[in-house]
Amino acid sequence: MKLTHPVYISAATQISIQQPLSEEWINAPVMPEGLYNEAIDPLFKEWLSAGEARRLGKIMKRAVATSAVAMNRSGIDNPDAIITATGLGCVKNTELFLTDLCNNGEQLLKPTQFMQSTHNTIGSLIAILNKCHGYNVTYANGDISAETALLDAATQMQLGDIKTALVGAHDEMTPCYYTLLERIGYYGVKGMVTSGETAVSLMLTDEKNDSAICRISDITVLHKASDSKIADTLTKTGEASCIIAGFNGKAETDLLYKSLIERHYPDSTVLQYKNLFGENMTSSALGIYAAVSILKHGRFPSAMYVAGPTGKSIDSIICLNISGNNIGIVKLTAL
Amino acid sequence: MDELIKQLKEEIIDVLNLEEVTPADIDENAPLFGDGLGLDSIDALELIVLMEKNYGIRLTDPAQGKEIFKSVAVMADYISKNRKK
């Protein structure tokens, strides 16, 4: 969907397996080792008192911290909407809750784990802490959750219903859940990138304020799309000087990215991000975050380079996320 | 009783995630709710679960909790008289 009414990204930040709340990864990225990596956490006491933090799982603390930084950098402390994307929600608490459920004969369940085992706990906590009483929705659409959340925010801005939106993408991983996903081939395939954890917060505005970094010019989410539909959509999205794709080391997926990029974007610089940020259900948000940072700084680390021209200035980036026959396409344009 | 108070303090710290609190920081005679440790209603639910899980004491009347959870010392006294585990 081409966005006729402008939508700007005024702040973007992350906590992941790279340095937290920082763009240091552009200069000196952490090169992940092994197949399972947890996020590098900042000290959360800047945003949460010990009393507030004690009940919160890591995913919640990370969401609070990235949201606070995005709000602070954009100068918007009460967004019209809080829209959250998460593939698995608060999976650590869910796991603890289910383990107790099994071990204690469905008795003696802990209220805190129960309260924090739902997907929408994240968005509601951000709203409560920041007294944002507006639109609040969580998308749990698997690997395509981040683009769906962005699409909701952008669509409402096209309709004039909201002017600002805090869009977040949050996922955590546990060793147990990693093992389950490994069994079904989601992780651990030979040659694949590491697993990761995502906390990304983006502040969207419908007006170009002083902190605006780039513009979202197109967002499309395709479900169960045919080859012709995908080809047609990519043609309509138009060209871009750079493509950031979700190459993850799985031969089948990477081949699909390669063939689409060769066919539609033969002259673009092609970059990857999952080799630095890892794979999980909302890692495409880290790709979008990386794109925003590249447009802001005008450069990218050599570890991201895959193919295409180098040295050309990057003024537009298409973020391509393929998950089976679901596809998310986000086009960003420099200001 | 001293041993039970010490054990109870450790269990409370663990179950309520009082990360920056040590057993020595908890005055066994200070109120658990309000001023003292500053616990709230969700913590009360966690303490009810703790009592049943660790000591086999089932509180059926929520009003009982108000009395029993006055302080660690009161809790320990109640547990020592009513424990089934």
- Check residues A311 and A335 and name the one with the higher pLDDT: A335
Report helix, strand or coil for A326: strand
Of B19, B49, B53, the CB nearest to A54: B19
Residue of B nearest to A51 (CA): B18
Cβ–Cβ of B16/A50 closer than 8 Å? Answer: no
DSSP state of A78: S
For residue A166, what is the domain's CATH number? 3.40.47.10
* Residue A73 reports pLDDT greater than 90: yes
Tell me the residue range of the domain where A220 lies: 214-334
Residue B21, pLDDT score:
84
Minimum mean pLDDT among A20-34, A290-304, B5-19, B32-46: which range? B32-46
Residue A75, pLDDT score:
97
In this structure, are A238 and A315 located in the same domain?
yes
In this structure, are A129 and A278 located in the same domain?
no
In this structure, are A180 and A295 located in the same domain?
no
Cβ–Cβ of A109/B46 closer than 8 Å? Answer: no
* Residue B19 reports pLDDT greater than 80: no
Cβ–Cβ of A54/B46 closer than 8 Å? Answer: no
In this structure, are A192 and A246 located in the same domain?
no
Per-residue confidence band for A276, with pLDDT thresholds at 50, 70 and 90: very high
In this structure, are A308 and A196 located in the same domain?
no
Residue A248, pLDDT score:
97
Cβ contacts of B18 on chain A, cutoff 8 Å: 54
pLDDT, averaged across chain A:
96
Taking the CA atoms of B47, B52, B58 and B60 in sequence, report the sign of the dihedral they define.
positive
* Residue A50 reports pLDDT greater than 90: no
Per-residue confidence band for B39, with pLDDT thresholds at 50, 70 and 90: confident
In this structure, are A59 and A171 located in the same domain?
yes
Place of tokens 């969907």: A1
In this structure, are A162 and A40 located in the same domain?
yes
Name the domain boundary from A205, A231, A253: A205
Per-residue confidence band for A272, with pLDDT thresholds at 50, 70 and 90: very high
Per-residue confidence band for B18, with pLDDT thresholds at 50, 70 and 90: confident
- Chain A contact residues (CB < 8 Å to B): 50-51, 53-55, 104, 107-112, 115
Residue B27, pLDDT score:
92
* Residue B35 reports pLDDT greater than 80: no
Segment A230-257 mean pLDDT: 96
* Residue B37 reports pLDDT greater than 80: no
Question: Chain A: nearest CA to B42, how far in angstroms?
Answer: 7
Report helix, strand or coil for A201: strand
Encoded tokens for A187: 């992780």
Segment A150-165 mean pLDDT: 98
Taking the CA atoms of A150, A152, A153 and A158 in sequence, report the sign of the dihedral they define.
positive
- Check residues B41 and A191 and name the one with the higher pLDDT: A191
| Domains: count for chain A | 2
pTM, two decimal places: 0.92
In this structure, are A221 and A175 located in the same domain?
no
Name the domain boundary from A185, A205, A225: A205
| CA–CA separation, A280 and A196 (whole Å) | 6
Chain B interface, mutation test: which of A99, A112, A115, A116, most B Cβ atoms within 10 Å?
A112
Residue B62, pLDDT score:
72
In this structure, are A224 and A140 located in the same domain?
no
pLDDT digit string, tens, across residues B65-82: 888 999 999 999 999 999
Cβ–Cβ of A108/B52 closer than 8 Å? Answer: yes
In this structure, are A38 and A122 located in the same domain?
yes
Share of residues in chain A with pLDDT > 70 (%)? 100
Residue of B nearest to A110 (CA): B46
Minimum mean pLDDT among A90-99, A186-195, A276-285, B36-45: which range? B36-45
In this structure, are A189 and A226 located in the same domain?
no
Name the domain boundary from A205, A223, A258: A205
| CA–CA separation, A195 and A186 (whole Å) | 10
Residue B3, pLDDT score:
92
* Residue A269 reports pLDDT greater than 90: yes
Segment B62-66 mean pLDDT: 80
In this structure, are A140 and A276 located in the same domain?
no
